[in-house]
Amino acid sequence: MRFGKGMQLLGSLQFLLATLLYTGIVLYAPALILNQATGLNMWMSLFSTGIICTVYTTLGGIKGVIWTDVFQIVIMLAGFMAIYVHGTILVGGPAQVLKIAYNGSRINFHE
């Protein structure tokens, strides 16, 4: 053994605390979004988020998790593109975007 029993116990407790805090944050963030979007009770949002994630992870394994991540990034990129296109149209096109950026000193290649 490299470390004594006391140090092993301390490391285990620190890992347990960090994992519990991380899991709480990971569950709370989507539950908060679900609560705000649907008006669902916060406890029900937390419970349903936890159950859904547990089920697709258990049934699909790492393949299910990877496909969920792929789906999530596709949705995020589609949202980013929609915001980009809509914003560009609102200000008058790509030339106007560059003009506004230049006039606001946002394009500084020589400094």
Amino acid at the residue 12: S
| pLDDT on residue 1 | 66
Specify the higher pLDDT residue, 68 or 80. Answer: 80
Q: Cα–Cα distance between 49 and 63 in angstroms, integer?
A: 19
Residue 109: pLDDT band by 50, 70, 90 thresholds?
Answer: confident
pTM of the model as a whole: 0.57
pLDDT digits (tens, 9 = 90+) for 79-93: 999 999 999 999 999
Amino acid at the residue 23: T
* Percent composition of the chain: helix, strand, coil (DSSP 3-state, to 5): 85, 0, 15
CA 35 → CA 11, 22, 54, 94, distances in Å?
36, 20, 19, 37
